[in-house]
Structure 1
Amino acid sequence: MRFASLGSGSKGNATLIEVGKTRVLLDCGFSVKETEKRLLRLGCEPDSLDAVVVTHEHGDHVNGVGRLSRKYKLPVWLTVGTNEVAKDTDFNQTCFIDPHSNFEIGDLSLQPFPVPHDAREPCQFVFSDGAVRLGILSDLGRVTPHVLSSLDSLDALMLECNYDYDMLMEGSYPYSLKKRVSGDLGHLDNKQSEAILKKLDLTKLQHLIGGHVSEKNNLPEFARQALYRGANCESEWISMASQENGFDWRDVR
């Protein structure tokens, strides 16, 4: 298994997961043109994709999904709730996710799990090839026991570090937006992500990557420090997904 990010942040999110001959795109918050450019940067032809999987309906995760699906005749996997409220659901093929049931796309097994976020029926995922497991956790305001159990004993993890609490509260956002971001249905801050890591079994972890880092309310170094404190590892071992470049392929074996 290997995975890479096309970009991560409030301007657009997309993560590429590959197992054998199966390639799946998790979310697509960029335009089709931008998505094509970023895929090619990773050596991936857009027509080699097998499916798009959607976490929730917010624009930074779905802006390009409909057009990409139609252009490349891709099936789109999403929950019923997400499909009901997403703006563009004219997909080439629609496949519904039960957020409590595993499913397969080609050689890839997906384990969805619900998360608390201000969306209709959001979920995040653990991906597996049967031997190793990759977890992606983003866009949730608090952690639940089910989230923790889903993420235990992973081989790789991409974890949201959206904001630094002090930077958010001292920043320019209106009070209502500050309350939304920091609320139970908002996003994870650095300290929350640190606390999550301290509760997980990380003995098999090969990769730890911070994602969805706010450009206004956080600094990559703040997020990195929280992650290495949580994982009790050297800071150089931590990678960060950027908005502009995401990150290059990571092998999980």
Structure 2
Amino acid sequence: MRFCSIASGSSGNCIYVGTQETHLLIDAGISGRRIEKGLNELDLTGKDIDGILITHEHSDHIGGLGVISRKYQIPIYTTGGTADAISRSKGLGQLPQGLIQEIQEDEPFQIKDLKVNAFTIPHDAAQPVGFRLEHGSSSVGIATDLGKYNDYIVEHLQGLDALLLEANHDIRMLQVGKYPYYLKQRILGDRGHLSNENAGRLLCRLLHDNLKAVFLGHLSKENNYEQLAYETVCSEVTLGDNPYRSGDFRIQVARRDCLSQPVII
């Protein structure tokens, strides 16, 4: 099983998860050309992709969806609410009939040899989800765009081999930054985004001896930077109520503009 961020940030997101038999994208929020470039760096092309899982309809998650799905006739898997929102999005163009496959939260389904389970996340979108993907005894999770976490989300992210977790903003940078008040409140709200501190606290509840890698993703370009996100999350882990230190794990920031180092599980 191979897990890699092609791009992750407030300006665009696209994650790859695959096996020798199955190749999936989670979100397509960057241009078709950038998706192709990232796949080429993984020795793949768009023709190899068996499906695109969409977390929600915001442009930084679906910006390149129309181009890449039409070009290669790739099935799109998402919730009914997100599918409806996508169908009303003016920027994507017409998607071919039958390309969107509707899925339900907490009802696992199979794409070739990968098992996929979508779980509800709190975000200001139509019907947003995170994803857990499993191949045999291996599993990875993607959890971004969540204003808060709860026991339900923690349960769905337990026992993973690798995780891409949102560390969107530094609270102080956001509070003193140039964003208008309503946008600051939206980001800080229960249906907004996870701060660096809360990402670290959530991670503390997910740590276990066999966790191989953590990507910190969906960083805000205006209200965060890589070193700050990394150091804040690591501090929460090391000082948190758990038996681990941050150095016990491979923690890295998923870059907004280039491929991250793939994790092989």
Q: TM bucket by the smaller chain?
A: over 0.9
2:241 maps to: none
Deviation at 1:26, TM superposition (A): 0.5
Alignment of 1:19 with 2:19, yes or no, is: yes
Instruction: State how far apart, in whole Å, the 2-side matches of 1:237 and 1:78 are.
Output: 30
Tell whether 2:136 aligns with 1:130: yes
For 1:56, the equivalent position in structure 2 comes to 56
Write the deviation string for residues 55-103 of structure 1: whole angstroms up to 9, x where unpaired. Answer: 0000000011122111101110010000111114614611111012111
CA shift for structure 1 position 236: 8.1
From 120, 135, 142, the equivalent of 1:114 is 120
Match of 2:240 in 1: none
Partner of 2:229: 223
**Residue number among 256, 259, 262 corresponding to 1:243 in the alignment:** 256
SS in 2 for 1:234: helix
> TM-score w.r.t. structure 1 length?
0.95
Supply the distance in 2 between the matched residues of 1:75 and 1:11 (Cα, whole angstroms).
24
SS in 2 for 1:148: helix
Residue of structure 1 equivalent to 2:30: 30
Is 1:44 matched with 2:57?
no
RMSD of equivalent CA atoms: 1.5
Contact 1:8 1:246 in 2 (8 A): no
> What TM-score results when the alignment is normalised by the length of structure 2?
0.91
1:80 maps to: 80
Q: Sequence identity of aligned pairs in percent?
A: 35
CA contact under 8 A between 1:78 and 1:95: conserved in structure 2? Answer: yes
What residue number does 1:90 align with?
95
2:127 and 2:31 map into 1 onto residues whose CA distance is 24
Q: Once the two structures are superposed, what CA deviation does each residue of 1:138-162 show, in whole Å capped at 9, x if it has no partner?
A: 0010002110111111111111000
2:197 matches 1:184: no
SS in 1 for 2:215: strand
